[in-house]
Amino acid sequence: MVTQISPSILAADFARLADEVARIPSADWLHVDVMDNHFVPNLTLGLPVVESLSRATDIPLDLHLMITDPDRWAPEYAAAGGASVTFHAEAATAPLRLARTLRGMDTRAGLALNPGTSVEPYADLLADFDMLLIMTVEPGFGGQPFLPQVLPKLRQAKQIAERQGLDIWLQVDGGITPQTIDECADAGANVFVAGSAVFSADDPDAMVAALRARADAAAHARQTAMGVGAAEASSS
Ligand code: DX5
Ligand code: ZN
């Protein structure tokens, strides 16, 4: 699976969004955090800003909806320009129906899990999703420290996906830096959101490249180790 980097504009200057996005031309996605002050204790942006952003850049929009009632709103965010729309399992009433609606609109459907939400209850739903977002901080704010307690769940999600033969992307979001990205890639993540690490860097695009290089190296080491493990198992 190819490594992808999705810088979060939550850490950018909201008065100059188009200029900020122009500083990260090699980003694979643009991560847009929509918060409603109900699902999380913070308020960010809504449909008009998403519509404007989709006109201002060719980078596909990776929308992360931290809102109540995504069943009502997620399709509107897909229509506003989200190439990928991720909603929270804790907030959705009918996640399967919503995933199918999004896919029917040619939008990638993502399911997000808070740090305290287990992945097992959602295992049977994953075939209907293009991405699973494992939150690595409590959602609501940028700049929080990475929660390593979430890594076992990430490994478990990777195993569930492999067991089911799913081509689902595994995204991590929160506290992703050059210091924490290796362990996430090693645990199976392949899409990495980074806000502060990218936009506080002197050269944000160089940081995107540095994060991708580190994650690629960790993923490669993981695959090599698995290959050696498999060879040892078959020869014993
Ligand atoms: C947090 C948001 C994240 C946030 C990440 O609720 O979902 O996308 O912007 O920011 P950093 O990388 O600074 O932790
Ligand atoms: Zn996010």
CATH 3.90.226.10 fits 4-235, yes or no: no
* pTM for this prediction: 0.97
Q: State the pLDDT at residue 233.
A: 66
The set of protein residues with a Cβ atom below 6 angstroms from ligand 1 is 8, 10-11, 31, 33, 64, 137, 139-144, 173-176, 193-197
β-partners of residue 169 are 131
Going by the DSSP 8-state scheme, the letter that residue 48 receives in this structure is: H
Q: State the pLDDT at residue 232.
A: 72
Query: Strand, helix or coil at 193?
Result: strand
Q: State the pLDDT at residue 84.
A: 99
Q: State the pLDDT at residue 227.
A: 85
- Centre of ligand 1 to C-alpha 19, Å, is 20
- Specify the ligand 1 atom closest to the Cα of 146: 14
Q: Whose atoms come closest to the Cα of 136: which ligand?
A: 1
Residues 14, 46: contact at Cβ < 8 Å?
no
Residue ranges of the chain with pLDDT lower than 70? Answer: 230-231, 233-236
Active site residue 173: yes
Q: Which of 5, 10, 113, 150 to mutate to test the pocket of ligand 1 (most atoms within 8 A of CB)?
A: 10
Residue 132 makes CB contacts below 8 A (sequence gap 6+) with 110, 111, 112, 113, 119, 122, 126, 157, 161, 168, 169, 170, 171
Q: Which of 5, 8, 88 to mutate to test the pocket of ligand 1 (most atoms within 8 A of CB)?
A: 8
Residue 160 makes CB contacts below 8 A (sequence gap 6+) with 119, 120, 123, 126
> Whose alpha carbon is nearest atom 7 of ligand 1?
139
- Centre of ligand 1 to C-alpha 98, Å, is 24
Q: Whose atoms come closest to the Cα of 177: which ligand?
A: 1
Which residue in 33, 36, 62, 130 is the catalytic one? 33
Q: State the pLDDT at residue 110.
A: 99
Residue 62 makes CB contacts below 8 A (sequence gap 6+) with 6, 29, 30, 31, 32, 82, 83, 84, 86, 193
